Chain A
Amino acid sequence: MTHVSIKDLTKVYPGATDPSLDRLSLEIPSGELTALLGPSGCGKTTTMKMIAGLLEPTSGDVAFDGRSVLNDKPENRGVVMVFQNYLLFPYMSVADNVGFGLKMRKIPAAEIKRRVGDMLDLVKLPDLGNRKPSALSGGQQQRVALARALIVQPNVLLLDEPLSNLDAHLRFEMRDLIRSLQQDMGITTIFVTHDQEEAVVLADRVALILDGKMKQYDTPDMFYKRPVDEATARFFGGHNFIQGVSDGRMFDSALGRLVLPDGATTGPGKLTFRPENVRIWHNETSGQNTLSATINDIIYLGTQTRLKLLVGETPIEAVVNPNEIERFTTGDSLPIHLPKSTLWVIA
């Protein structure tokens, strides 16, 4: 069980002017599964390599249980990194790959053999030890890479885009496997991804990094309910941002006066609400936070329908159940409801 502290971690590559990573600070509680989320080139992999000791930070610190590990060599840190493309050694059998870390620690061959067998059982590949990696499917290769990492019982496990190379049907299987192994062994795990869905599905907590800076570090649901700013909300698929002024209880804007949930920020800001939280209002009488909207476009998406609406002059987007709007067409107006608890004001 290792608590990982990252403090003001910065990396400026030689010859570059802008830092690839700018003063990142994170506290990752022991045994948690944390996602570093951000678009490609935002410094996620750089962060992982610095945690693993494969890259030297320009400034800042990485500490395990309060002790700085910057001067520890990569092989002594107890950090294992699993790369996105698995990087199984192509000239070794699956069993030799899994046993690699133990062999480097000069553990007797018989014990390696036994532990490799156990590990392959654990990742549900019991009979493939003698194959070459090239004879395995992508999902199997990933399991081998995971087994190779876990067999050395690392303090910290780093995963680079662990689900992104897998087909949709394998993703949930692998997600469950990673989560169960991680929980059973209690290994502090950090993974990086550019895919918000992957982050949300797998992580206990998500750190969103945009432009080399950390935007928000929270449980997954908070990125939908309480994004810190517009860029964060947009990264998670937010669409509606309405300029206005909040007094803490009510929000005044082109949409009129809307009632806010408790704890909303005050002053000028943007009101945001997710398209899927926009409701069609079926009651005859108008209630709290109900508005009249005109349908500008209807985009049928199969299980959902996306609506482009105009409230007065203000465009907003809504995602609704297809059968809810069966009787409407473009140009119709309809009443909509923005539930108070789904509204959020960002500065």
Chain B
Amino acid sequence: MSDRVKIFLLLLPAMTIIVVLFFGGLGIGLMRSFNYMPVIGLTEPDLSAYVSVFTDREFYLSFLLTFHIAFTSTVISSILAIGAALLLRRSFVGRGIVNFLFQLNLTVPHLVGAIGMLYLFSQSGSFARLAHEFGMIQRPSDFPALVFDPYAIGIILQYVWKEIPFIGVIVLANMQSIGEDYESVARSLGASKWQTFRFVLLPLIFPGVLSASVMVFAFTFGAYEIPAILGANFPAALPVLAYRKYTDVDLAARPEAMAMAIIIALLSAVMIYFYVRYSRRRIRG
């Protein structure tokens, strides 16, 4: 058997599944967003779904909110994850248990984190009770709205909670494979601790940080259950809005839902471009 045939056969089952399910799903979504579905008699593609999406104020509010959630969460998580990795990279007493606790929430689904955040930050949650204990508030409504709030603070807190270890573990592995010698060189060439971080360590870990952040951005832009639990009703995050449109009793809203799905997919495509650009070597193993 020639190598080409072998490679083809090895890839065939996996690629079939991915092409049919993933790209098929995308393709069907794309067709339906253009109201094009010959099987059910829709043979004249049009832009009506996009027109109604782009003329709807709620869509813009929703898009901005979702972008704000994804961007803010990603930036804060990345910065804190770098800090956490700096803290954890050295050996110290009890490192094993600290590492375990650091990685603990990697395996805890976002949904659980979202519920935990709800119990911590709602107006009758643990922090409100603590505030009451210290005499800072009287009634629950005195506590600032951190969940179901217009700035999506609860959602961002949840993502920051969840993504610090995710980015942190990647950055930590990155730092370990780089080692400390580059920094030693910089120190001995006269760089201060800050200069060493700024001009040596940061550029070295940057590709790793960026590819991890890109994954986080795409995820936080497209996740449904977290804003569904912690978000305000209006404006809702884009995935929540898309789901609502899709399950609307009015079937005419479905192409709009598909159009929103395509918009999320397009944004992800931009993310994939950045990911591939900055982690070309990493994908190849």
Contacts and interface: CB of A to CB of B under 8 A. Distances in A.
B185 A83 contact: yes
A212 B181 CA distance: 22
B184 A49 contact: yes
Contacts of B190: 75-76, 101, 104-105, 152
A76 B195 CA distance: 14
Interface residues of A, number: 28
A75 B200 contact: no
A226 interface: no
Contact of A104 (B91, B181, B184, B192): B192
Interface in B150-164: none
Nearest to A103: B199
B203 A80 contact: no
A79 B185 CA distance: 10
A149 interface: yes
Interface string A106-133: 0000000000000000000000000000
Nearest to B203: A91
Contacts of A152: 189-190
Which of A54, A75, A105 has most chain B Cβ within 10 Å? A75
Given A87-B181, A87-B182, A91-B204, A100 B189 contact: yes
B153 to A, nearest CB: 36
B189 A80 contact: yes
Contacts of A90: 204
A104 B182 contact: no
B184 to A, nearest CB: 5
A194 interface: no
B187 interface: yes
B55 interface: no
A52 B200 CA distance: 18
Interface in B191-232: 191-192, 195, 199-200, 203-204
Contacts of A143: none
B2 interface: no
A74 interface: yes
B188 interface: yes
Nearest to A74: B187
Contacts of B189: 75, 80, 100-101, 104, 148-149, 152
Contact of B188 (A14, A54, A91, A105): A54
Contact of A81 (B185, B199, B204): B185
B53 interface: no
Contacts of A74: 184, 187-188
B88 interface: no
Contacts of A85: 181
B186 interface: yes
Interface string B65-89: 0000000000000000000000000
A91 B202 CA distance: 11
A100 B188 CA distance: 11
B203 to A, nearest CB: 5
A76 to B, nearest CB: 8
Nearest to A75: B190
A158 B189 CA distance: 12
A91 B199 CA distance: 10
Contacts of A101: 189-191
| Shortest beta-carbon contacts, A-B, top 7 | A101-B189, A74-B187, A104-B191, A81-B188, A104-B190, A54-B184, A75-B190
Interface of B: 91, 181-182, 184-192, 195, 199-200, 203-204
Interface of A: 14, 49, 52-54, 73-77, 79-81, 83, 85, 87, 89-91, 100-101, 103-105, 148-149, 152, 158
28 contacts: A14-B91, A49-B184, A53-B188, A54-B184, A73-B187, A74-B184, A74-B188, A75-B191, A76-B190, A79-B188, A81-B184, A81-B185, A83-B185, A87-B182, A87-B185, A89-B200, A90-B204, A91-B203, A100-B186, A100-B191, A101-B191, A103-B199, A104-B191, A104-B199, A149-B189, A152-B189, A152-B190, A158-B188
